[in-house]
């Protein structure tokens, strides 16, 4: 028997960084890039993990505990253990492939984990672990192993595969006991370009820097987080109303806020400015910042000009996606 599951890439539309401190954020799936997991029954004993893109095969039994694929499988098997069933030790081959660029804020790690967990849950007939909520919760556990203190927005959007409005639980400022999650559809489809600076940008560096700035000067940083939160809340209303010009203005305002938080970079600013000059309704960095990706909201008839302007301004790659068009 063979089971396949996949998970999309993602972008953060509004509220990155501030979401860590208890403010709302909005993220969207990017279905043009995906991670896929194939789980197959095997004749051999144990679990073989295959990642042909990386030409790397490893037996689960030999993998270090922090190996990303092994961590996902162990997290699933722990959750699948019930009081009257021992830890299952099935004979499987698991193959992972992904078209999501790595380390660029497109959620590649979370998507690989979510695809793997969903495929295992379906294959091993554990439907209660294959729900979007369960896949998201288990993916979050794995994200915590690799990223320390993620807000939880990445695992949420790649597991639910919809536009999400998200507020985390247990934030250092606006601590709440329950997270807020609203899945919603924009009033009009959003045509977005995703421009990659080509700079490798591990999220934990800007996240750590923002934390140090906040600890050193909360009076300066807390109002910036709150301003981003207000922008994200207003953006949800504008998105639901299909008020695209307002969404664009709010993207520009969010980028200014992120610049003040010190997480932009000259390369991101150059792409953001180029998109606006070429007719984008709005543009901002997306994700951790200092590199990685920016996004631009365009109209169908300006997409080609904005895309060309992004490449001319140094984008290593430009992806095009439409949010809310059938998802
Ligand atoms: O770099 P990304 O796209 O994984 O985004 C991280 C988003 C942050 O808000 C900066 C961190 C987080 O955990 O939410």
Tens of pLDDT, residue by residue over 235-251, are 999 999 999 999 999 99
- Please list, in sequence order, all residues whose beta carbon lies within 8 angstroms of the beta carbon of residue 36, skipping any fewer than 6 positions away: 4, 5, 6, 96, 97, 98, 115
Beta bridge partners of 320: 193
Q: Which atom of ligand 1 is nearest to the CA of 18?
A: 9
Q: What is the pLDDT of residue 85?
A: 63
Beta bridge partners of 97: 36
Q: What is the pLDDT of residue 89?
A: 72
- Please list, in sequence order, all residues whose beta carbon lies within 8 angstroms of the beta carbon of residue 191, skipping any fewer than 6 positions away: 297, 298, 299, 300, 303, 320, 322
Residue 195: DSSP 8-state? E
Q: Which atom of ligand 1 is nearest to the CA of 207?
A: 10
Q: What is the pLDDT of residue 105?
A: 83
What number of other Cβ atoms are within 10 A of residue 32's Cβ? 14
Burial (CB < 10 A; 0-12, 13-18, 19+), residue 5, is buried
Q: What is the pLDDT of residue 61?
A: 93
Beta bridge partners of 282: 297
Question: What is the distance in A from the centroid of ligand 1 to the CA of 224?
Answer: 16
- Please list, in sequence order, all residues whose beta carbon lies within 8 angstroms of the beta carbon of residue 3, skipping any fewer than 6 positions away: 38, 39, 40, 119, 122, 123
Question: What is the distance in A from the centroid of ligand 1 to the CA of 273?
Answer: 22
Q: Strands, E, within 132-172: which ranges?
A: 164-167
Average pLDDT value over all residues in the chain: 94
pTM of the predicted protein model: 0.95
CB 134 within 8 A of CB 181: no
With a 6 Å cutoff on the Cβ, whether 151 touches ligand 1 is yes
pLDDT-flagged residues of the chain (< 50): none
Sole residue written with tokens 């909005």: 26
Question: What is the distance in A from the centroid of ligand 1 to the CA of 202?
Answer: 10
Q: What is the pLDDT of residue 84?
A: 64
Strand 190-196 with 317-323, pairing: antiparallel
Q: Which atom of ligand 1 is nearest to the CA of 293?
A: 3
- Please list, in sequence order, all residues whose beta carbon lies within 8 angstroms of the beta carbon of residue 103, skipping any fewer than 6 positions away: 200, 201, 202, 292
Q: What is the pLDDT of residue 147?
A: 78
Query: What is the C-alpha to C-alpha distance for residues 16 and 207, in angstroms, rounded to an integer?
Result: 10
Query: What is the C-alpha to C-alpha distance for residues 210 and 220, in angstroms, rounded to an integer?
Result: 11
């Amino acid at each position: 028997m063979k089971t396949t599951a996949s998970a999309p890439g993602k972008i953060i539309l509004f509220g990155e960084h501030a979401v860590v401190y208890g403010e709302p954020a909005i993220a969207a799936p990017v279905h043009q890039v995906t991670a896929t997991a194939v789980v197959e029954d095997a004749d051999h004993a144990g679990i073989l993990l295959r990642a042909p893109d990386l030409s790397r095969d490893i037996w689960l039994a030999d993998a270090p505990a922090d190996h990303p694929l092994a961590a996902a499988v162990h997290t699933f098997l722990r959750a699948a253990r019930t009081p009257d069933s021992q830890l299952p030790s099935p004979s499987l081959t698991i193959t992972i492939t992904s078209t999501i660029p790595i380390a660029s804020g497109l959620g590649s790690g979370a998507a690989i984990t979510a695809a793997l967990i969903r495929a295992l849950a379906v294959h091993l007939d554990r439907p209660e672990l294959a729900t979007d909520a369960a896949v998201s919760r288990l993916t979050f556990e794995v994200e915590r192993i690799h990223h320390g203190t993620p807000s939880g927005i990445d695992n949420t959007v790649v597991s639910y595969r919809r536009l999400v409005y998200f507020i985390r639980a247990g934030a250092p400022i606006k601590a709440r006991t329950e997270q807020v999650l609203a899945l919603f559809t924009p009033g009009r489809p959003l045509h977005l370009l995703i421009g990659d600076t080509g700079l490798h940008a591990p999220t934990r560096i800007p996240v750590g820097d923002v934390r140090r700035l906040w600890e050193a000067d909360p009076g300066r940083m807390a109002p910036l987080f709150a301003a981003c939160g207000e922008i994200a809340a207003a953006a949800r209303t504008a998105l639901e109303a299909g008020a695209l010009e307002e969404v664009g203005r709010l993207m520009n305002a969010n980028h200014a806020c992120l610049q003040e938080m010190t997480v932009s970079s000259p390369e991101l600013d150059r792409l953001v400015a180029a998109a606006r000059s070429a007719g984008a309704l709005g543009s901002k960095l997306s994700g951790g910042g200092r590199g990685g990706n920016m996004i631009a909201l365009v109209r169908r008839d300006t997409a080609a000009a904005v895309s060309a302007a992004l490449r001319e301004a140094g984008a290593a790659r430009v992806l095009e996606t439409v949010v809310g068009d059938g998802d």
